Amino acid sequence: MTSPIGEDDLAAWIDGRLSPERQRLVDAYLEGQPDVHARLREQAEQARALASLFAPIADEPIPATMRVAAIRGRQRQPRWQLAIAASLLLAVGFGGGWSSARWSGEPRAGIAALANEASDNFRVYAADRIRPAEIGPDQRAMLIRWTSARLGERVTIPDLSTAGYRYGGGRLVATPHGPAVLLLYDGPQASKLAVLTRPMQIDKSASMTSTSSGTMGRVTWAVDGIGYSVVGERPAAELHPIADEVRRQADAGLVS
């Protein structure tokens, strides 16, 4: 007894994935079913057309950023700096009565920590319907004066209107590394975005790193001792152009 011809056999016939014995069986079946045979031949032709349509893409040289060595290099960098941060914390710990048991796997320094601070604050404040921002969008100067004084750095408010995001106010927030500024933005379809900025002790300069936390994407970097993290309910890849814009304006020293 052989098992009857199934639609799975016919699909595998089209793809040329039948075992030799099954192939003989299906071929014999198709001899007696010219209509089915014609349909399968047509579909096999369409499958080949589909493959050749997209084939050229796979012939393109791959971007250098997609090399495993390049990815590893980027991923290793924060971890290496984290190790320094850890040793610093431990050194402080032994001097100041800290327990090393308090050290958990969570990054506590560098841009990895900044990214987590950004998503933690985003989670709390962007979802707030009553008072997400302490200082509203009409009082930019006041926010800049206040937060610049607290951070000891000149704070700028990036204009993200070209990316479809309107500045919705900001606030001073607490992080394990001192005060930081959280700037909130409103985008299309009630989407939210935030930029967290603070001075950096570790990772004074770090290239853009994309990470995610749950459904939140984060793009985080540091320039000249100031860290930035752009966070939103979107994949980090989509936040990247916005982060580029924030960096461009920050580098240019634009103040709104």
Partner 1 sequence: MAHRAASCRCSATEMDPLAAAIEPLVPGLRRYARSWLRDQAMADDLVQDCLERAVGRWRQRRGTEVRPWVYAILHNLLVDHKRQHVRRGTAVPLHLVDDVALGRPADQDAGLHHRDLLRALDALPEEQRTVLLLISVEGLSYGEVAAVVGVPLGTVMSRISRGRDRLATLLREGERPRLRSIR
CA dihedral 60, 63, 68, 73 (to 10 degrees): 170
Q: Which is nearer to partner 1, 49 or 101 (CB)?
A: 49
- Give min distance, CB of 97 to partner 1, in A: 35
Q: Which is nearer to partner 1, 1 or 64 (CB)?
A: 64
- Give min distance, CB of 35 to partner 1, in A: 13
- Strands 166-175 vs 192-199: parallel, antiparallel or unpaired: unpaired
Q: Which is nearer to partner 1, 116 or 210 (CB)?
A: 210
Residues 6+ apart with CB under 8 A from 193: 126, 160, 165, 184, 185, 186, 187, 230, 231, 232, 239, 242
Q: Is 210 in the site for partner 1 (CB under 8 A)?
A: yes
- SS3 of residue 150 by DSSP: helix
- Give min distance, CB of 139 to partner 1, in A: 30
Q: Which of 221, 228, 243, 250 binds partner 1 (CB under 8 A)?
A: 221
Measure the CA–CA gap between 130 and 119, rounded to whole angstroms. Answer: 19
- Give min distance, CB of 95 to partner 1, in A: 32
Q: Is 161 in the site for partner 1 (CB under 8 A)?
A: no
Residues 6+ apart with CB under 8 A from 236: 210, 211, 212, 217, 218, 219
Q: Find the part of the chain contacting partner 1 (CB under 8 A) among 27-35, 46-54, 86-94, 153-161.
A: 46-54
Contact positions vs partner 1 (CB under 8 A): 7-8, 10-12, 14-15, 17, 39, 42-43, 45-60, 62-75, 77, 188-189, 191, 205-208, 210, 221, 223, 234-238, 240, 247
